[in-house]
Amino acid sequence: MRRIGVLGGMGPEATIYFMQKVVDAVQARDDADHIPLLVDNNTQVPSRIAAILEGRGEDPGPVLAQMAKGLVAAGAEALVMPCNTAHYYADQVAAATDKPFLNMVEMACAEAARISPGGKVGLLGSPALQQVGVFERALADAGLSPVYASEQGRVLATIRSIKSQGPSEFAAHTLSDVCAQMEADGADVICICCTEFSLLTTDIVAKVQVFDALQVLVSAAVEYSRSGVSSSDVKEGDDEARIATSL
């Protein structure tokens, strides 16, 4: 099996959750049946929200690129980054090495298109996603359009609450309210696209189908690791190849 390098720490609990989901995805009889992970749980990555929303602080891009290089130097044969907002810097991460980067945003949009072709996707994630259009290109390429939360301040407060206090019933209730608003605004499917919110996937209530971008990434990482595809067969910048790893 191929080693998967994880650019983590954004946040650390979400990174651990990703790792647990990778473990859960494998029916193992022994340790050697599990997916080998190399994890840089770097809690010192500069704040994506500060850089994108507030225009202050250190640029996370070079730090993420250096993490990618370090993981590859340690033996990673593909890279993943379980943080949706950090995918604003995905091109820098992908360009930093010659190994494939499994792009969670692109694969989540492909999954949304499978569920609701040509539909509207409610994006349950950081306000930064809307401000800098992290999902816009991938959604357009998949023939989809976005629906965002109208109360972005409330969403941001929930992210900060989960980071500082962990998942809670109140946070789940807030996110369910946000889902109801996006449904009223026409969302045909809702994508959980904040890895803090992934911690509450089973507690979020909605009338339309809800799926988690993190789980899509888990499936892609497991499939890539266990496949017979050589890392040299997936070229940097090859969107179709990167998306295909989730199928």
Which residues sit opposite 39 in a β-bridge? 6
Domain range annotation of the chain: 4-104+215-244, 105-213
* DSSP state letter for 63: H
Distance CA 234, CA 80 (A): 14
pLDDT tens, position by position, 188-221: 999 999 999 999 999 999 999 999 999 999 999 9
Say which CATH class 105-213 falls into: alpha beta
Confidence category of residue 178, pLDDT binned at 50, 70, 90: very high
Mean pLDDT score across all residues of the chain? 91
Distance CA 66, CA 74 (A): 12
Amino acid 233: pLDDT? 41
- Give every strand in the sheet of 37-41, ordered side by side: 37-41, 4-8, 78-80
If you search the block for the tokens 């499994």, which residue do you land on? 102
148: which 2 tokens? 């965002």
Distance CA 239, CA 236 (A): 8
Residue 135 zone, left/alpha/beta (φ > 0; ψ -120 to 50; rest): alpha
Distance CA 147, CA 134 (A): 13
Say which CATH class 4-104+215-244 falls into: alpha beta
Confidence category of residue 37, pLDDT binned at 50, 70, 90: very high
Amino acid 228: pLDDT? 52
pLDDT tens, position by position, 88-146: 999 999 999 999 999 999 999 999 999 999 999 999 999 999 999 999 999 999 999 99
Confidence category of residue 238, pLDDT binned at 50, 70, 90: very low
Candidates 61, 66, 62, 126; CA nearest to 97 is 66
Mean pLDDT of 60-65: 98
Which residues sit opposite 123 in a β-bridge? 191
Check for a shared fold between 4-104+215-244 and 105-213: yes
Mean pLDDT of 213-233: 81
